[in-house]
Structure 1
């Protein structure tokens, strides 16, 4: 377990420790720092923060399950008008950040918005006292807008599972007269769906832009309020530790889900179920069922943004937007290259030159994506502060801030890079590496001449996914950026917080357009899931 140490495994060990340390320092700050705030937090805001967070998680999780499972099932099982379009279009809402859709829905459905204005005109209502209209800036509104952009996680996992469901299971259920969906497909796909649900819930608790704009006091917003409002880093760490416990529970559920995602079937000539032609009114129902999530999560927000861009063209500050775009591009490019470089080194060493302990440490260092950006920001600040006490870094404020951002992005998005690289490295025949060793190649030469050329596509996919994730990242950037450092995400947040949506509409639209690239990659990957040889046994 502790054998096979070499200079490369030691380097990776040190990198993994650096990545894990900010998480550990959260507990150091929470329980060994100033603990005088604990009683005050427990007696005042912490119960409310926790309750609101749980309500939001239950609401978003439930609605995302409805959207994700229903659409995944009908596009996998049935043929109906528009199916080929819906297969990939149902992933488009994943390109829209939750805080962007919150801004657009608020403008559309608030009292002075076009929807209520039209209703007052049609029905001759004079004021709010003449009718009732749901408040979009509420818990219900937050659940709706967040579910509209987070359900693709469940759709993606559910559809992948449905696509690879052995046909013999459906045939057995039909023989006994059972409902195929309720008694066969859903129970067998439950581990995949739970894994997708865990991702939805982790994104929900890590959201800052939506809950801040809708004034919903969650644990994530509480970290901001206590840190910046009360100037208490220890208090922020204490709230972060509560968030940490929730995240660990979700990670456990996700791990159990993946662990139990197994079923076996001996080859029987045809393993993949055939598509059923929908008939009569069902054709329209299925098309409508798939259209609703796309309408809510992509068509409405992008249409509102386009309208803002055209209507507010004169007030858009192109100089500021292009400056923010340049900043976003260079920080995202540098960070994505850094993340993928670390991922290549860690995954390669993990597979070819490490022991079980090192592999475990590398796995733990990949869990940063599961934690809210606010937690990681608190951990990074505490950890870097402790390092500075020992090493006395002499960086200026801007350079130090950029380095901290790069470090934070690496912790947060290393899992994305590791996933992309791991899927390529595991397909490399170990004999190729052994032959290279016999020929006397060094590890760097093996990496450069053998491994990287074989995983070039995976590197490209990983860089793209990390790039777009960093482009959309808000809470960590907002907390850790240097002064006068604006990305597209922080630019949109600043203007939207002041109700200046037209001024930031072009920047928000740029973020959405950038997010469509990974959606195309995801659709391509999921389509390959169903293209398995008919004689190939299916094993999850």
Structure 2
């Protein structure tokens, strides 16, 4: 009797489409999903369920403040980004060339730097109020009224001018891609510049503007430094309050799940807007709208409208930082500052290398693997970028701390040697958090680059 050939484990795996690329995809996806799954588990099975207490006390206030801040900043950024994008895309005026790129500069600095600069300028001992008291003769704060600096409106103001470039980028591209045909028809009907913007340009660019505003609102929900500095209580600050001050990780995870729900809604809106962002020309002939030259008063107004966001969002914060840096030159050689700089460069370099490597492996696996598994897992790995840093903090520190303590206790019992906390006690945890947070960017860049390579070359 002839025996059937023996099937090796590798052959069995290949039969179902499993290979090294599939295993790598599962491994990377698992690492990315650990924080999210940890938060969900802690929220569903907390050691002390304070959800009813949160519902009756702080959660409604946190939620209202978060939604109000999110909507206010989203609308403000949409207005600033749309107006500047329209002026840059449709008009020529003095300074338009460098303003086109300068309008992106607020993205180069964190929003909380703008918060520090605003308070430094406008607080009681700052140069603005000091100058007012000197010119008018006021002696104390009781002699005059001045807006409260650390407040909800101030947080909205700072975040608006820090995040508007997300809307500006997408809106500028949408305005530039519009055909001149509709604009020419409107001109022939006697429509003015504002009517052409309101009735033609804005409706065609609305999906792009909505997508940019959704990204702004996600970044607003994610912000901690600015809202904490301005004493604005949001869901993000609530996570740290419940976790660190009350010592309740389960309650913090439940608040994190509320943030995730808000983020999922915003991501869905952004995806929906992008699906509607496609417009097609029925004719093979396409010509962009020719820019109009603005001179005199109109040119000055256009320049001012485009320069103000750059001044508020970039020039003032960097000038305040530069002023303090020049006044404290001795601090440049402070060993603590040098150590912090070197640690920043080290952590950033390691996280970047790991993230890029994992992104390339994931994308390459999608192209080479015969299994559909890597392709289905690819969208899941982008969830880390949408998750706020506070959510990732809860989801990463808790499991890593548990692993660290168990490992240290086990080695102590076996050898009597205390190894300490090798993950949460070093930079490993923050590197892991950066990799999860920015994996979607590395994967997206690798996917775009790989898309230009013919599959036949693989």
State the TM-score, normalizing by the size of structure 2: 0.89
Moved more, 200-209 or 303-312: 303-312
Q: Is 2:259 the partner of 1:243?
A: yes
Q: Is 1:412 aligned to 2:437, yes or no?
A: yes
Match of 2:421 among 390, 397, 407: 397
Quote the offset at 1:171 in angstroms.
2.6
> Matches of 2:158 and 2:284 in 1, distance apart?
45
CA distance in 1, matches of 2:404, 2:337: 34
| Aligned residue in 2 for 1:503 | none
Cα offset, 1:39, TM superposition: 1.5
Aligned partners of 1:142 and 1:111: how far apart in 2?
Answer: 18
For residue 170 of structure 1, report the CA deviation from its aligned partner.
Answer: 2.2
- Tell me the distance in 2 between the aligned counterparts of 1:236 and 1:250: 21
Instruction: Name the CA distance, whole Å, in 2 between partners of 1:260 and 1:356.
Output: 28
CA distance in structure 2 between the aligned counterparts of 1:354 and 1:246, rounded to whole angstroms: 36
Q: 1:59 aligns with which of 63, 72, 92?
A: 72
> Do structure 1's residue 98 and structure 2's residue 131 form an aligned pair?
no
Q: CA deviation at 1:271?
A: 2.5
Instruction: Write the mapping of 1:317-328 to structure 2, written as runs, cut at 5 A.
Output: 318-328=334-344
| 1:422 and 2:422 matched | no
In the alignment, which residue of structure 2 is the partner of 1:132? 145
Aligned-partner SS, 1:397:
coil
Q: Is the 8 A contact 2:362 2:374 kept in 1?
A: no
Q: Answer with 51-60 or 397-406: which moved more.
A: 397-406
Q: Distance in 2 between matches of 1:17 and 1:175?
A: 59
Please report the TM-score for the alignment, with normalisation by the length of structure 1: 0.76
1:378 aligns with 2:394: yes
Q: Which runs of 4+ in 1 moved over 3 A?
A: 172-178, 266-270, 314-317, 354-357, 382-396, 398-401
Cα displacement string for residues 69-116 of structure 1 (whole angstroms, at most 9, x for unaligned residues): 000000000001100010001011111101111111111100111000
Question: Hey, what does 2:3 align to over in structure 1?
Answer: none
Query: Which structure has the larger Rg over C-alpha atoms?
Result: 2
Question: How is 1:429-444 mapped onto 2 (pairs within 5 angstroms)?
Answer: 429-433=454-458
Unmatched runs of 5 consecutive residues or more in structure 1: 434-540
User: Which residue of the other structure, out of 328, 332, 351, is the alignment partner of 1:312?
Assistant: 328
CA distance in 1, matches of 2:263, 2:168: 21
Matches of 1:15 and 1:385, distance apart in 2: 21
- Backbone CA RMSD of aligned residues: 2.0
State the 1:312 CA deviation: 2.7
Q: 1:432 to 1:342 in 2, by over 3 A?
A: same
Change (3 A) 1:361 1:383: farther
The 1:13/1:113 distance shift into structure 2, 3 A limit, reads same
CA shift for structure 1 position 267: 5.0
Q: Answer yes or no: is 1:347 the counterpart of 2:359.
A: no
Give secondary structure in 1 for the equivalent of 2:150. coil
Question: Following superposition of structure 1 onto structure 2, how do residues 33-72 of structure 1 map, counting pairs within 5 Å?
Answer: 33-72=46-85
Cα distance in 2 for residues equivalent to 1:236 and 1:348: 37
Alignment partner of 1:334 is 2:350: yes
Quote the Cα distance in structure 1 between the aligned partners of 2:299 and 2:385. Answer: 39
Count of aligned residue pairs for this structure pair: 432
Instruction: Work out whether residues 94 and 149 of structure 1, in 8 Å CA contact, stay in contact via their aligned partners in 2.
Output: yes
- State the partner residue of 1:22: 35
The 1:271/1:280 distance shift into structure 2, 3 A limit, reads same
Compared CA separation, residues 89 and 421, structure 1 to 2 (3 A): same
- Aligned partners of 2:24 and 2:362 also within 8 Å: no
Shift of 1:352: 3.4
